[in-house]
Amino acid sequence: MNVAWWCSSTPGQIWTWRYTPFIGVWIVAASLIGGYVAAHRRAGQPLDRVLFRRWCLGVLALFVVSEWPIGQLGVGYMATIGIGRYVVYTFVAAPLLVSGIPTWLVDRWFPIGSKRGQVLSSVTRWPFALLVFNAVLFGTHIPWIVDTLKVTQLGSFGVDVLHLGAALIWWWPAIRREPERGAIQEPIRAFYLFTSSVLMFVPAAFLTFSPLPLYGLYELAPPLWLGFDPTSDQQAAGIVMNVVGGFVLWGIIAGLFLTWSRQQQNADEITRKARDARTLARMKVMSDAEAGEAHDGPGTVGGLVDGGAVPVRDD
């Protein structure tokens, strides 16, 4: 059986459906799950089912797109699957991993005030995170970088680590809700995510509208089937980056706006009820006053109301 450390482009190698395990992928996945469970045991904390499920799903997403066959097809044969891997790393695995870490574990690994805590606060500050994410997005899709790094297992591993690392940093301020760690509020969060979705159109547009294949490793790879066209594959890759990446991001942005609007609606409802209560109170006072006038005779109602004796403000 063929065994390798990590998926990489293997120029000239004919694709076959013969299983090739990537040991590095198994080790990383086992380390992530094992480390998570061990950290809980060491701290004497019970596993939170919801958080653990998220963490495991994140690891599973990483595993599926890094192991054979998707990992190999994506790195060496089809740009569409290559971009699909990036989308899963960035928009599926990373947010699941970030949202799967309990607050106590963050506090333990990155205590507030400690050097590590300061580093975490610095790299996850939203302008910096936005910069890092987009620098990695643009940098790792430059043809020369792709054609140079993805033909070695180390290079390919490095690119995957960069993608995951940048995505974790980028999702952190958008997902983590600890105020003491600089959690960003809804309007900025939506802007933050929206900006990234717009910037993503740039590399996606290059892929979609380039008349020639940009990446030599996909263009010169043995085709998976006769008539396989690397230019069409690249256009499909651009569409995957735009549509799938965009859909996920815009779905999250839409969710944020819905939550925000619901909160605003609730706040408006509370205000309206308070105003109604005040109006009722004023009407009651007026009605009582009219009743009093009828009982005591004219001359007192206007004085009571106009003189501001009724402590009601209609603002």
Partner 1 sequence: MTGRIDAVPSPATAHRPGSAPSRSGPLPRPRPRLLTGMLIVLGLLASGCGPASSTSLAAEGLPRQSDGWHGIQLEIERTLPDVTLLTTDDEPFILAEELRGDPTLLFFGYTSCPDICPVHLAAIASAMNTAGISYDDLDVVFVSVDPERDDPERIDEYLSNFSSRMTGLHEQLPIVADALSQLDLPGPVVEGPDPRGEGDLIGHPAQVIGFDANGEAQRVWPFGARRSDWVNDLPRIVEEWS
Site residues for partner 1 per CB under 8 A = 4-6, 8, 10-14, 16, 18, 23-24, 27-28, 31, 35, 39, 42-46, 48, 50-51, 99, 102-105, 107-109, 116, 144, 147, 151-154, 157-158, 177, 211-213, 215-217, 219-223, 226-231
Handedness of CA 170, 173, 175, 181 (dihedral sign): positive
The continuous run of DSSP H or E covering 267 comes out as helix 245-296
For residues 113 and 227, which CB has a smaller minimum distance to partner 1 in the complex? 227
**Which CB atom, from 214 or from 253, has the smaller least distance to partner 1?**
214
The β-bridge partners of 22 are 4
| Beta bridge pairs of residue 309 | none
Closer Cβ to partner 1, 227 or 311, answer by number? 227
Q: Which residue has the tokens 């009743």?
A: 291
Query: Is the Cβ of residue 5 or residue 201 nearer to partner 1 in the bound state?
Result: 5
Cα(197)–Cα(205) distance, integer angstroms: 12
Compute the least distance from the CB of residue 235 to partner 1, in Å.
Answer: 13
Minimum Å gap between C-beta 147 and partner 1 is: 4
Based on CB atoms, which residue is closest to partner 1, 191 or 228? Answer: 228
CB 117 within 8 A of CB 125: no
Q: Exposed, middle or buried, 105 (CB in 10 Å: 0-12/13-18/19+)? A: middle
For 74-127, the DSSP string reads HHHT-HHHHHHHHHHIIIIIHHHHHHTS-HHHHHHHS-TTSHHHHHHHHHTSHH
Q: Which is nearer to partner 1, 81 or 146 (CB)?
A: 146
Could you write out the DSSP letters of every residue in 134-168? Answer: HHHHHHTTSHHHHHHHTTSHHHHHHHHHHHHHHHH
SS3 state at 297: coil
Nearer to partner 1, 31 or 271 (CB): 31
